[in-house]
Amino acid sequence: MKLSLLTDAIDSVLDAAYERSRLLGGLDPEVASIHYRSDKVTPGGLFVAVRGQRTDGHRYVSDAIARGAVAVIVEQEVSTDSNISVIRVRDARKALALAAARFYDTPSDKLVMIGITGTNGKTTIAYLIEQILDHENIPTGVIGTINYRYDGKTFDNPLTTPEALELQQILAEMVAAGVTHVVMEVSSHGIELDRLRGCLFDIAVFTNLTQDHLDFHHDMAAYWKAKKRLFTEYLHPKTAKGKPCAVINVKDQKGHELAAMINHCPVIRVGEDPKCAVFPENTGFDETGIQAEIQTTDGSFSISSKLVGRFNLENILCAAGVGIALGLPLDGIKTGIDTFSTIPGRLERISDVSGRFVFVDYAHTPNALENVLETLREVNAGRLVCVFGCGGDRDTDKRPKMGEIAGRLSDLVVITSDNPRTEPPLKIIEAIRIGTHRVVPRQLSAEELEGGWSSPAYVVEPDRQKAIYLGIQAAKPGDTVLIAGKGHETYQIVGTEILPFDDRKIAEQGLSLN
């Protein structure tokens, strides 16, 4: 593709001082690829110098040119020894996204794009929508926290919302494979870092807003502002694919606010209020799942879902709302919900012949942990053991809050490491312990716990494997053990090392020991 076609796509972010005549006056090379990492540049490539949190792409312009870049996009003056096109822009991230969309022929225009944002529930809703669409034989692709997948193939996905270049490439691959609908988890990082530029969405789903990612956004106001942008910037009437629609969980206060402010497209409100377009009646919850009658503007249908807990009913309502927005038949929506069984690392049950109920869950925010613990309290009369930690180099404010929640809702809390990253694990653990100690003053050692416990207590074990073993060994038949925080992850990040670690496998090993 000619460079001039790519610069046309980024016209909105070109620096006013940039002389287009230089490009058009003979420096209009053929661009074979686009890169934002200099070590990935191949001959004929276009390099975009993006400023990151740890480094600045402008430092690597010379390296990119040495590797064969025919043009570079920058935000500041750079000196080069080569006669190549240097394109200056006000925002390199936006330029990267817009150029990538043009390079891959704007694939989102050829797809029905369904974006899901919110603090909790995105992955579950994405799986539910995928199941509903699969039942209707609609070729579907999914881009999410656990992986991205389409046409029977599954690929690792290091970011919930991929970087703009990879996102456009993935969407183009899906188009080439015959995919017609894409279900995408949209993170606040992805929105704030302009990874979505060049995409327009047909349906946008809002789940909820609770504390998370304050290490990045700094405060809840900024976090909320980022989430709203999916609806105000990317769910736009000018899409050529039809009129867009918002599906919003108005049980959440921010969802209620969001629904009230949207006036550029239809809004499908979901929640427990009978005034909603999608709401439940005659609900029942137990350890086997959820039973309910779902009322919609198109009629009603009963569900018997294998998902557990009230918070998962909210996820089901959101998925049903998407089905209504797409005009799918109610029996297809019902069947998709009823036939879906499990999501990796989301209240995933680990089998135990002794009668203990052991679950692994991704809950890593205060609200998510509270929801899961309340759910397990509701469906099981036995004692509740919670094994969890908090990630390092992330929001520090939530650590004592999560400790307090675990102490208030559990009979035994085992405080341990999560992904400590470059923080000292004991520093993270101490912040959690302070919160737990506020509501559960009784701390036991691992040795004391071996004799059993009869009143609420907590124990500290920094080694996550040992902590999981402790939690399982402390439980008796009929008790429930929740191992929270990492869910589907198959690694643990300690320092800068990524070590193999899977809570589910460790739990299975722990269960085999006793």
Q: Which amino acid is at 163?
A: E
User: Using an 8 Å Cβ cutoff, are 86 and 71 in contact?
Assistant: yes
Whole-angstrom Cα distance, residue 226 to residue 187? 9
As given in the structure block, the two tokens for residue 98 are 């817009």
CA distance 321 to 317: 6
| Rg for the chain, CA atoms, rounded | 25
> CA 366, 367, 368: angle at the middle one, nearest 5?
95
Distant-in-sequence, close-in-space partners of 350: CB < 8 Å, separation ≥ 6: 358, 359, 360, 504, 507, 508, 511
One-letter amino acid of 329:
P
Supply the pTM of this predicted model.
0.86
d(CA 241, CA 243): 7
Three-class SS of 244-296 = CEEEEECCCHHHHHHHHHCCCCCEEEECCCCCCCEEEEEEEEECCEEEEEEEE
Q: Is the dihedral of CA 396, 397, 398, 404 positive or negative?
A: positive
Return the pLDDT at 256. Answer: 95
> Which tokens hold the place of 172?
């183009």
Q: What is the 3-state secondary structure (H, E, C) of 347-370?
A: CEEECCCCCCEEEEECCCCHHHHH
d(CA 328, CA 425): 49
3-state secondary structure 60-80: HHHHHHHCCCCEEEECCCCCC
The single-letter code of the amino acid at 327 is G
Mean pLDDT by 10 residues, the chain (514 residues): 92 71 63 96 96 87 94 87 85 95 96 94 95 97 94 88 94 98 93 91 93 64 89 75 88 94 94 97 91 97 94 96 97 97 88 92 92 90 96 94 97 98 97 98 94 93 98 95 95 95 97 87
- pLDDT score, position 159: 79
* Long-range own/partner contacts, residues 463-466 (CB < 8 A, 24 or more apart): 463/416, 463/417, 464/389, 464/416, 464/417, 464/418, 464/492, 464/501, 464/503, 464/506, 465/501, 465/506, 466/416
pLDDT given at position 184 = 96
Nearest by Cα to 398 from 215, 151, 206, 150: 215
* Angle formed at CA 501 by CA 123 and CA 395, multiple of 5 degrees: 60
Written as one string, the DSSP assignment of 355-411 is S-EEEEE---SHHHHHHHHHHHHHH--S-EEEEE---TTS-STHHHHHHHHHHHH-S
Residue type, 194: D
Residues 6 or more apart whose Cβ sits within 8 Å of residue 1: 30, 31, 102, 103
The three-class DSSP label of residue 145 is coil
| Nearest partner of 491 among 391, 399, 394, judged by Cα | 391
Percent of the chain with pLDDT over 70: 95
Burial (0-12, 13-18, 19+ Cβ within 10 Å), 340: buried
Question: CA 4 → CA 22, 28, 47, 109, 345, distances in Å?
Answer: 11, 6, 15, 22, 46
